[in-house]
Structure 1
Amino acid sequence: MVRKMEWAASANHLGGIPRKMVIMAVGAFAKAVATLLNSTSVHNADTLIRLVRSRPPGVPLITVSNHMSTLDDPVMWGFRGFPTTDANLARWVLAAEDICFKNPVYSYIFRLGKCIPITRGGGIHQEHMDEALERLSDGAWLHTFPEGKVSQGDLPIRRLKWGTASLIVRAPVTPIVLPIIHQGLQKVMPENYIFGRRPPFPLCNKNINIIVGDPIEFNLPNMRQKAISMSRNGSLPFTGWPCTSPDGLDEAAQRCLYTTISERIQTVMESLRSFSKSFLMSKV
């Protein structure tokens, strides 16, 4: 499989000028929606800003969040004090191929905006997941929506897809994993506004609340050994996954490991969601 417009995602494409222009324009839009048209409050913003600006050299960052609207990215980065318009610090993000890359113009713009196309249902070994892994290998920041789709109801965090867990395991340097929960963007861009469609423009005078958690720590060597032990007692069907290098985990062990990591992230995100509800009530 050929990676879609990977050349446009390169920092050297036309001297990096198109990327800087797109990141600045999108960042200005995010700032306007988050701080001018609406009101945004962020709990523990310093942790996110510190990890984006000054984490140890070569250490990648993965942020994970719930998915409330099609505007979550980039508007959730538009709060005051965040370097939204800096192309060098901007996140890479996994984006749905059928929405963001449905024609060459969209593909070019989203590629300049540091988006990596993901085919929903395409599995964790699709070509663009390898591209995401390469960005982590560079020590970059990657954002994912591990639930896999938008959900605008006040519901518990759904079972997470395995893609994020697979990136954590396969990265040469274990990424810092930072959970984020947000509320309010579903009111800025509701899915069913007019005749069951989204509004043509973001709505105004809404409250956006973002809760940044603390980094989730993973003892991967220990978790790998437990996954190997657990997999020997399992009876999951095999679909031909390759062994992961350098650990040589077979498919059964990978499934156990990805499940354990995903469940850990899901639990932390759900705890953060519960905290966000009590936190917001205390502000009323």
Structure 2
Amino acid sequence: MGGGSMRWAGKADHLGGVPRALVILAVGAFAKVVTSLFNSTSVYNPETLIRLVRSRPPGQPLITVSNHMSTLDDPLVWGFKGFPTADAKLARWVLAAEDICFKNVILSYIFRLGKCIPITRGGGIYQAHMNEALEVLSGGGWLHTFPEGKVSQENAPIRRLKWGTASLIVRAPVTPLVLPIVHCGFEKVMPEKYFFGRRPPVPLWNKDIKIIIGEPIEFDLQSLKQTAKTVSRDSSIHNLGWPNTRDGLDEAEQKWLYVYISDQIRTIMERLRIFGATIKRFKV
């Protein structure tokens, strides 16, 4: 059974919200222990993330984006000191790989309680579960994505971003604030090939973790949409049969927007990555 059929478990009022609260509390405690107690974590600019999570204007959606260094990036990236990990209402929604997190009924139920939205790799940006992500944003919620699309443990530049995150930014009724985050160290806490060529059974400890939080990006979508309508068309690009957006953008215009927005986010994430590599420690 996939996660899609268990969407009811992800509702805030499921069993009075008690199972969700317990899962968020347990996962948050796990993240705090691993990130703040068992490992040495330093965070640059934590105030910006905490402010946007706790007190952004009502109805203002937030998308956080980060690089993907390990299978435990989420939830560990939220485990630093001072972050409200125990509050189920404040907790992020996150896009999670269906083939990893939703393999059976039990996993599907737990990940749904943990505010995870299943995404089918290769399913495209118009797959049904992306509508769930849009609903989160429509309600002014917080969504986290890994726009690189897969784990990479190499110390290398940010890879070309998938278009899914950009499509959510364009299609959301209220344009989300986009907050870039870059981290390193989680690849040492949960290495892909450690224990007989596999991940270790538990997270490793006594590692150095760095989390670099940028400033929110505000996209002027009205202006960008006008530009998209005037740019030249590359007729060689394969037509994917996308529907027009509700404000009439055709497939070519959408592609231009998604490439432009993805490139902007990637450029800023790469700057943060380079910045993080140049500084040794900063405040926790």
TM-score band, normalised by the shorter chain? over 0.9
The offset of 1:231, in angstroms, is 4.6
Which contiguous aligned blocks of 4+ residues in structure 1 show a shift greater than 2 angstroms? 1-4, 231-235, 280-283
Contact 1:190 1:199 in 2 (8 A): yes
Query: Letter of the aligned partner of 1:270 in structure 2?
Result: E
The offset of 1:281, in angstroms, is 7.5
**Residues 64-143 of structure 1: matches in 2 within 5 Å?**
64-143=65-144
Contact 1:188 1:206 in 2 (8 A): yes
Query: Letter of the aligned partner of 1:238 in structure 2?
Result: N
State how far apart, in whole Å, the 2-side matches of 1:142 and 1:37 are: 27
Counterpart of 2:252 in structure 1 is 252
**Residues 1-284 of structure 1: matches in 2 within 5 Å?**
3-232=4-233, 234-245=235-246, 247-280=247-280
- Unaligned 5+ segments in structure 2 are none
Contact 1:188 1:202 in 2 (8 A): yes
Structure-2 change in CA distance of 1:231 and 1:238 (3 Å): farther
* Aligned CA-pair RMSD: 1.5
State how far apart, in whole Å, the 2-side matches of 1:170 and 1:278 are: 36
Contact 2:3 2:109 in 1 (8 A): no
Greater CA drift, 257-266 or 214-223: 214-223
- Say which SS state the counterpart of residue 93 (structure 1) adopts: strand
TM-score (norm: length of structure 1) = 0.97
State how far apart, in whole Å, the 2-side matches of 1:95 and 1:119 are: 9
TM-score (norm: length of structure 2) = 0.97
- Say which SS state the counterpart of residue 280 (structure 2) adopts: helix
- Say which SS state the counterpart of residue 239 (structure 2) adopts: coil
State how far apart, in whole Å, the 2-side matches of 1:161 and 1:5 are: 26
The offset of 1:4, in angstroms, is 3.1
The offset of 1:2, in angstroms, is 9.2
State how far apart, in whole Å, the 1-side matches of 2:3 and 2:37 are: 41
Structure-2 change in CA distance of 1:186 and 1:104 (3 Å): same
Q: Percent of pairs identical after alignment?
A: 70
- Say which SS state the counterpart of residue 180 (structure 2) adopts: strand
The offset of 1:282, in angstroms, is 8.8
Q: Deviations over 1:25-77 (max 9, x none)?
A: 00000000011111111000000000000000000000000000001000100
State how far apart, in whole Å, the 2-side matches of 1:207 and 1:237 are: 44
Contact 1:5 1:111 in 2 (8 A): yes
Contact 1:193 1:199 in 2 (8 A): yes
Q: How many residue pairs get matched?
A: 282
Query: Letter of the aligned partner of 2:176 in structure 1?
Result: P
State how far apart, in whole Å, the 1-side matches of 2:49 and 2:240 are: 38
- Say which SS state the counterpart of residue 83 (structure 2) adopts: coil
- Unaligned 5+ segments in structure 1 are none
State how far apart, in whole Å, the 1-side matches of 2:181 and 2:3 are: 32
Query: Letter of the aligned partner of 1:224 in structure 2?
Result: K
Structure-2 change in CA distance of 1:255 and 1:154 (3 Å): same
